[in-house]
Amino acid sequence: MSSPEKTEMPLTLDVFTAGLWKENPVFVMMLGLCPTLAVTNTLENSLGMSAATIFVLVGSNALVSSLRHLIPKQIRIIAYIIIIASFVTVVDYLIQAVSLDLHNKLGAFIQLIVVNCLILGRAEAYASKNSVNKTIISALGMGLGFSLALVALGSVRELLGSGQLLGFQVFSLNFEPWVVMILPPGGFIVLGSWLLLFNYLQQRKTDKITAMQAASHCSLPPS
């Protein structure tokens, strides 16, 4: 019987880039929307949650992949949660050590990384079936794709909600802030706008590929 490493798909660039665009956790798969909407009222919060999520995602998935042959199938979900919770505890203390103010701003959403469906879902669907190297590359791509979504929301919400980015004034002092953008409704508004743009770009790409395929068929000489 061949081992999983011999039968799995080879490691390619697509393994990394899939999470950035084709399988973006937020804009395509709609995963992790709770922290996406809750902590993206500023760019600083978005960057902090992005770093924490990448750390937990890469670390926990790598450990799950390395132990995939040792974890009994019957208790795999419990084992995955324990592994993820361990990395969340580490990152929780790290954020406290680096910036207590950021830790207070992120609040309970740091601990809620444990139940982030993105991390647990990747552990179950990918890390438990692939080699460590491939899992790390895929997790890093997914983490960066998730970070891209958080930064996209956080920058727009902070810019329109206060006229600033990371504390630096961007708009003139005469700018009237859109207070709704830093409130919960602003998260839904900005997320909906980004989803509209993302789907539009995806549809354009699909239409372009379809048109190119149709043109290639039409250019074939008759048999």
Provide the pLDDT for residue 123. Answer: 92
- pLDDT of 199 over the 90 cut: no
Lowest mean pLDDT among 57-61, 132-136, 154-158, 171-175: 171-175
Provide the pLDDT for residue 117. Answer: 87
- pLDDT of 148 over the 50 cut: yes
Sorting pLDDT into bands at 50, 70 and 90, what band is 7? low
* Tokens read off for 132: 């460590």
Give me the residue spans of the domains in the chain: 14-216
Q: Do 11 and 137 touch, CB atoms closer than 8 A?
A: yes
Q: What angle do CA 151, 62, 116 make, to 5 degrees?
A: 45
Q: What is the mean pLDDT of the chain?
A: 88
Q: DSSP class of residue 2?
A: -
Q: Which residues touch 97 (CB under 8 Å, ≥6 apart)?
A: none
- pLDDT of 22 over the 50 cut: yes
Read off the pLDDT of residues 41-95 as tens digits, 9 standing for 90 and up. 999 999 999 999 999 999 999 999 999 999 999 999 999 999 999 999 999 999 9
Provide the pLDDT for residue 223. Answer: 53
145 exposure class (CB count in 10 Å sphere: 0-12, 13-18, 19+): buried
Q: Whole-angstrom distance between the N-terminal and C-terminal Cα of the chain? A: 47
Read off the pLDDT of residues 111-128 as tens digits, 9 standing for 90 and up. 889 888 899 999 999 999
- Would you put residue 221 in left (φ > 0), alpha (ψ -120 to 50) or beta? beta
* Range 134-141 average pLDDT: 94
Q: Which residues touch 33 (CB under 8 Å, ≥6 apart)?
A: 26, 191
- pLDDT of 9 over the 70 cut: no
Q: Do 178 and 161 touch, CB atoms closer than 8 A?
A: yes
From CA 171, how far away is CA 160, in angstroms rounded?
A: 9
Sorting pLDDT into bands at 50, 70 and 90, what band is 2? very low
